[in-house]
Chains A and B, each alone.
Chain A
Amino acid sequence: MATDAADRVGIGWRPELAAGILLHLSHIDVLEILADSFFAAPRRAIAAMRALGREIPITLHGVGMGLASTIEVELPRVEHMARLADVLQPESWSEHLAFVRAGGTEIGHLAAPPRSVSNAEGAVANIERAARVVGTAPELENVATLIEPPGSTLDEPAWIGSIVCAAGTSLLLDLHNLYANARNFVRDPLVLLAAMPLDHVRCVHLSGGRWIDAPSGAKRLLDYHLHNPPCEVYVLLEHLAAKISRPLTVILERDGCYPPFSVIAAELDAIRAALAKGRNRRVLLGAAA
């Protein structure tokens, strides 16, 4: 199914999906490589990825820097990314707007930091440090959270907007993360989408999650990457494609419970269909204006 000529659809590289990806390369426009899993990889594994990068555009995706923090990013972590980027020559790299450690404590995952002016200033300083070392600024991904971040004085779109504007970088908009945060904290996902700094979006992540029970009996949506994206996330993608003119690169993320690749391929087709519907709507809205 055709989308706008400049929109691209890809998938996160996972060793478990390697055979399917290699067999369906003509169906995939771009591969996103989980950078941290290659920082200390054997030379042979990196060489294989470099060879793959000659066949298909690749991007690097980091998870361990903890850029959204008042604490200075650890330089060796950034240098790992710089070395890998130097070898693999990706077209871009990305990291999360999260903190993952503080005061010697490793949280072990991407935690939403206090959404405040001082945290945003710390994030911008860290992004600039990372950009100086790697050579280019990262695209920045919004994270899902089960907890309303304590100490927040800004709402999520204002906090993200202040960072991407000050750092002059792009937003990697994870639509399932956005959907989860909207559902967990009683906001309309479409309103939350509209409030995001959409002019900065170049890349999109799509994934699935599952509902979990809170102690109070309420339910919250956990971003889990083991399921197909729910239809509401495709609706968000369609709205996004209708709202912005910039070409989008959409990456499907899957971290386990891998289905047959035919299921993955069907999801890639569904992404193309949602993009095409959004682009068509944009054309119709433009014609009507």
Chain B
Amino acid sequence: MNLRPLAALGIVALCASLAAPSAPVSAAGDTILFGSAVSLTGSLTKEGHLTQEGYEFWKTYTNAHGGIKVGGKTYKVDIKYYDDESKPATAASLAERLIDQDHVNFILGPYGSGTAFTVAQMVERKKIPMVEGNGAAEKIFSQGFKYTFAVLSPAKRYLEGVLDIGKHQKPAAQTVAITAASDSFSQEVAQGAAEWAAAHGIKVVYNNKYPETATDVSSIISALKATNPDIILNAGHLNDAVLVHKALKEQNVLAKMYGYSVGPDTPDFTNSLGKDANDVLGGAQWSDAVKYHGDPGFYSSAKDYAKAFEGAYHHRPDYHNAESTAACLAFQYAIQAAGSLDPEKVRDALAKLDKTTFFGILKFDSRGINVYKPMVVNQIQNGRLVTVYPPGLAEAKVKYPAPPWGQR
């Protein structure tokens, strides 16, 4: 008996089923079905899982509290996920599948600007609204799309707070070096930081990018070191943040401040780097120190949200969790306001939305991006993440300048 083709087929089928995990979903008449392609494998795995946690937390809360009331009828909510493998093209085709085959009512965004951009094109074609909390590149919002809304602050603003902190120290930081990954989000973060620095009298002495797939950034760090900057900024994602920070220590680069767009907020950063993570600053969309008083329908304060979230997932919510939950809330309020599940009516309600939540203000400009919500800056102090900026929300004073390597 020849088993070879059968065995090979079995393996391929097994791989395929693992590559696209999916949960059974009931698309019954009394359920509002959301769909989302998130990065459950690939380079953005960690961030993808944080996104999914944020969505699931909202789903559990909403269903436990009766669901969403739409024009006199109450609906439960459910979310169908596919794994986009951190690939933009895959995310778009999965969004198409969610809309055409799974008949989801609405789309919740993927993680990352690259994937959000391709999914935005898809929902535009299908005329199904998407709210996303994890794609901050303005590139997504300069195409005239009408069906994509983002609850988070634009990418260009990620590291402004870090620069502002440096500017107000005594003595003030005067120079900045910027390294950035080559993806569109990171490039916009770097561009925004460079523009802000130039406009506020901080000299940009180094500004260079590395490929997203870089496995060694030593030579970029060597060149950066030669410029002897007061502030070092990295625009990238978690993995490159760790890579850059390790390389900075290896090359013994001493700056007064180290700021990252993504990284310090996730416990993985501290777990990977140990004491070297201390005194690092990170731009963040949210922290549990923010003081908004949310409208009824969900946890009204960041502290309450954080406490309940930690009870469910056994870790403090980071801003990726919070912004993902906020994306769901935008839908919840818009569906209630529309009093309908009609995609067009919900889209129009999203465009008019003006709600305050634990996360901040949910309000979109004509491009669909939330420019009404400020960023915060967190610093890792003795292994703990604390909010240090803006001054009104600061839980602790910024530690400045950062001590030399080995003394943290």
A and B held together in a complex: no
Which positions in A face B, CB cutoff 8 Å?
Answer: none
Which positions in B face A, CB cutoff 8 Å?
Answer: none
